[in-house]
Chain A
Amino acid sequence: MQIPYILSAIVFLPILSGAVMMFLPPKNHRLIYRFALAVGLVAFLLSLIVYFSFDAAGPRYQFLEKYDWLPALGISYHVGVDGISAPLVLLTGVVIFTGVIISQRIDDRPREFFAFLFILASGVFGVFVALDLFGLFFFYEIAVFPMYLLIALWGWKQTREYAAMKLTLYLFIGSVIALVGALAMYFASGLHTFDMIALEGANFPAAFQNFWFPFVFFGFAVLGGIFPFHNWSPDGHVAAPTAVSMFHAGVLMKLGAFAALRVGIMLMPIGAQTHLPWIIVLTLVNVVYGAFIAMVQTDFKYMIGFSSVSHMGLVAMGFATLNYNGFLGAGVQMVSHGVMTALFFAVVGMIYDQAHTREIPKLGGLVKVMPFAAVAFIIGGLVSMGMPGFSGFIAEFPIFMGLWAGGYPWIAIVAAISIAVTAAYILRAIGRVFFGEIPAELAGHMHDIRPSEKLALGVLCVVMVTIGIYPNIILPMVQAGVNSVLALLGGA
């Protein structure tokens, strides 16, 4: 059973609610929070419906909606989800719901904060469901722009202007480069359409693909944090307010990876086969170098920021193998990492709110005051280390298998180093922050987290554990999506 218009509802609910929100009384923080919470909950429920009514054995794209928008240019409003984007829609729903809960304490203009957050959410949903190239860019920019304001206005005072500027410039440059490639595709196809399903069958000449693929791939992969264009990402994470960090690392980085797949690999498969064998080396740098950099951080948030660089490298690495196992793992890793890192940033935010420091050596013994948050962080940490029984293992294992199957044994062996390094920095952080004695400066200031925050962390943990123990809850779907990607690659 497929509910009609559900994707449009998901895409436009947040942005329209954001508009409605501007009519609420600005001083009534409680009302604003409740309204935002209701919107987040509805978005979460809608994304759950999409996820669970997606039929893995059914047609490739489901919940399709298509309306002409600018027929003269071949632009239409065309949305639908496949097996790779359906879990990402659910991920976005989870992160928006939990992100709103975590933001209850925002005192500075909460009305505007939530409104921008919802614009961002609409943009993200839009990219995941867009089947029209123009629509994809449209939503992509909608997602990037509010980030600037959210970081610059509500971010960490010391670096927010710098980080917001850096992030926005990086991403705009990336998207402009990708747009150039997209326009080249539009004109070269001769189909006069931006419809991606039509463009998949355009059969661009090999020379064209080989030339333009890097533009599109790197343009989007910047947002996915690919080396050497990852530099904006940890700065952005650190400066952003908690909910925005959750969105940024949890969902936005997937946007880059997803768009690089959808527009780059799926529309220009020959170009992908030409270039990805060397790009895989860059992703290896992401994975290993990111892990080492994370290990030397003393700022809790920077550590997690660099761990995201490392883990997103695995997603790009999975894509770059261009085979079944690699894509399968990358598809699961996007969801797994999204949930895990959202949880990390949520916990760090909770600690920072009370301790007013993120320096790992200045924290300690927090398990005594916030046991629930500590356990949640430990579960996230185990996911991060790729511990079996949690979603990270389910995701990373096939990526490594993809490396073996793709004939990259050396990449697999070197990348495996990152697993031990990740274990080292995660265990170090857990030991320093949650165990031991509470430092004298903090004693007495710290208290347990609120029940609603426990709920948010609980939801995130449930996703990670469920996928880890019962991977079949997500696999058939991703498998269906991967098979259609492989069909485009000529069954490679």
Chain B
Amino acid sequence: MDLITNNILSLILFSPLVGGLIVLLVPGNKDLTRRLALFLSLIPLVFALNAWLNFGAAPVVDGFRFQEQVAWYPAINSSFHLGVDGISLSMVLLTTLLTPLAILASFSVEERIKPYMALFLALETGMLGVFLSLDLLLFFVFWEVGLVPMYFLIDQWGSKTGERELWKGMKVPARRYASFKFMIYTMAGSLGLLLAIQMLGVVSGTFDLITIFQSWPSLTGSLFGLDIGTVKAIAFWAFTIAFAIKVPVWPFHTWLPDAHTEAPTAGSMILAGVLLKLGAYGFLRLVLPLYPAEAQQFAPVLAVMATAAIIFGAFSAFGQRDFKRLVAYSSVNHMGFVVLGIAAAAYAAGTQNATIALNGAVLQMFNHGISAAAMFFLVGVIYERTHTRDLEEWGGLFPLVPVFGGLLIFSSMSSLGLPGLNGFVSEFLVVRGAWPIFTVLTALSMLGLLFTGAYILKGIAKTLHGPLNEKWKGHLSDITRREVLVLAPLLVLMLWLGLWPAWLLSVINQAVVTLFG
């Protein structure tokens, strides 16, 4: 038992990767591969639940629990250092929960199922590594590694139709365009992060975050012939841009609608559910502790960008004809609240309002993970049946697919922020916390919420209501039991978090207070 408790984070981190290799190597037909992958993806969830249940009892060292440290790259003083607090543990829980659901959702994939499942499990390890790392270099390692499986998932298993023009009339398949844009956008965005991490490592003489947290913010003097304040401001923006692209915050969001639209259903679920959280997590784990002064100085800029993301995201979503693009833009809209909360907290660090806003931001990360995954899955369900994502092609489907319709409305309400469901709690906390800090911007964001309601209702109305498009009559089967099984845990969580969020908030709040209180 001790063996498990002492290495619980390594077990969470590497069990998906090992699982992926097993899927790849074990012979068997498609059905067996699917079940095997599902089973293997449940193992990290069990470990994560174990960590969750023992979390309170585990000793705290420097604010983090379950720490492990092994030499990895001693020549430049980087080590394999893992640890979790309330923020990262809730993200770990989200990741390990969504991956089995995404795999269950992928049971309808027929093509090259083994590499598909293996890539999914490898992706899980990459994402978990970001949440678990307490070493700057290790953080970057996992940050980049996660790109590779996602790139191939979009490029190989993305939607088959559609073409995009590159230049001079050269056409490429849309999924290739989207995956390439995703990869290059994110990699190029990470270059500044890479350079800043190198610089931090050289200046600090180590990559261990616990040490850097103490040494770097209090550093004075000059570096490279520049004032330390200037260097820190540049490094702050290098970090911020990398994370802002991932979140994504306006105006860095343009990769997202393409990637989401072309990705396979389960890929979109993970992309929206977890990958976007990596960016927000980067703000919380690195930017705020490393650059408290710069974060405070530039918080208004960040808040403006977040508000723009909320408003423009909502408008853009409303303007879409493609249902998947609509949901994709809704991610920009919802993640804007996360960034707004973070910006507010950075501006008024240490106050009660800041704590509330941060709690809201982290809870919103979790909530958006659940509801976006559910929405993308529902879009995938109907796409599989009708082979179109065009809202104008549907209409009046409610009588044909009543169960599907009910579930779609339920999930949409969670996304919309209906009181009693999860989205309301976190958005309310963010707005409550940010109001005294950025009153005008918060007020504008709340007007943005109005349009959230508009696009959500548009999605429901165009799909389920109105005159029935006769061509679907008799061609549409309702949602299957497997598909309901994918949604069930998400719906339960939506309701549970809406009615009684304290079980999650208490853990998050602990970390928020320790880190920024």
Residues of A within 8 A of B (CB): 325, 328, 382, 385, 387-389, 393-394, 397-398, 400-401, 404-405, 407, 409, 412-413, 416-417, 419-420, 423-424, 427-428, 431, 435-436, 471-472, 475-476, 478-479
**Contact assessment for B184 and A416 in the assembled complex, using a CB-CB cutoff below 8 Å:** no
B68 in contact (CB, < 8 A): no
**Contact assessment for A431 and B202 in the assembled complex, using a CB-CB cutoff below 8 Å:** no
| Chain B residues, Cβ within 8 Å of A417 | 191
Among the listed B141, B180, B199, which residue makes an inter-chain contact with A427, where contact means beta carbons less than 8 Å apart?
B180
10 contacts between A and B (CB under 8 A): A385-B187, A387-B145, A400-B195, A404-B202, A416-B195, A427-B151, A427-B180, A472-B73, A475-B74, A479-B75
B286-321 vs A, Cβ < 8 Å mask (1 yes, 0 no): 000000000000000000000000000000000000
B256-271 vs A, Cβ < 8 Å mask (1 yes, 0 no): 0000000000000000
Among the listed A328, A398, A416, A428, which residue makes an inter-chain contact with B194, where contact means beta carbons less than 8 Å apart?
A416
| Cβ < 8 Å to A, chain B residues 193-221 | 194-195, 198-199, 201-203
Among the listed B140, B156, B176, B203, which residue makes an inter-chain contact with A388, where contact means beta carbons less than 8 Å apart?
B140
Q: In whole angstroms, what is the CA distance A382 to B147 when docked?
A: 11
**Contact assessment for B180 and A407 in the assembled complex, using a CB-CB cutoff below 8 Å:** no
- Size of B's binding interface in residues, CB under 8 A: 32
Closest Cβ neighbor of A375 among chain B residues: B115
Among the listed A385, A388, A398, A401, which residue makes an inter-chain contact with B141, where contact means beta carbons less than 8 Å apart?
A388
| Chain A residues, Cβ within 8 Å of B167 | none
A300 to chain B, nearest CB (A): 19
Q: In whole angstroms, what is the CA distance A475 to B202 when docked?
A: 18
B224 in contact (CB, < 8 A): yes
Q: In whole angstroms, what is the CA distance A409 to B142 when docked?
A: 25
| Chain B residues, Cβ within 8 Å of A382 | 148
Closest Cβ neighbor of B185 among chain A residues: A420
**Contact assessment for A412 and B184 in the assembled complex, using a CB-CB cutoff below 8 Å:** no
Q: In whole angstroms, what is the CA distance A325 to B75 when docked?
A: 9
Query: With A412-B195, A431-B180, A475-B74 in contact, is A401–B201 under 8 Å at CB?
Result: yes
B72 in contact (CB, < 8 A): yes
**Contact assessment for B198 and A420 in the assembled complex, using a CB-CB cutoff below 8 Å:** no
**Contact assessment for B72 and A471 in the assembled complex, using a CB-CB cutoff below 8 Å:** yes
**Contact assessment for B198 and A397 in the assembled complex, using a CB-CB cutoff below 8 Å:** yes
| Chain A residues, Cβ within 8 Å of B173 | 436
Query: With A387-B148, A404-B202, A472-B71 in contact, is A397–B76 under 8 Å at CB?
Result: yes
Q: In whole angstroms, what is the CA distance A412 to B195 when docked?
A: 7
**Contact assessment for A412 and B198 in the assembled complex, using a CB-CB cutoff below 8 Å:** yes
Q: In whole angstroms, what is the CA distance A471 to B188 when docked?
A: 25
| Cβ < 8 Å to A, chain B residues 120-178 | 137, 140-142, 144-145, 148, 151, 155-156, 173, 176
Q: In whole angstroms, what is the CA distance A407 to B156 when docked?
A: 43
B183 in contact (CB, < 8 A): yes
**Contact assessment for B184 and A328 in the assembled complex, using a CB-CB cutoff below 8 Å:** no
Query: With A407-B224, A412-B195 in contact, is A389–B141 under 8 Å at CB?
Result: yes
- The 5 closest A-B CB pairs, nearest first, are A388-B141, A404-B202, A420-B188, A475-B75, A405-B202
Q: In whole angstroms, what is the CA distance A389 to B202 when docked?
A: 21
Q: In whole angstroms, what is the CA distance A336 to B405 when docked?
A: 55
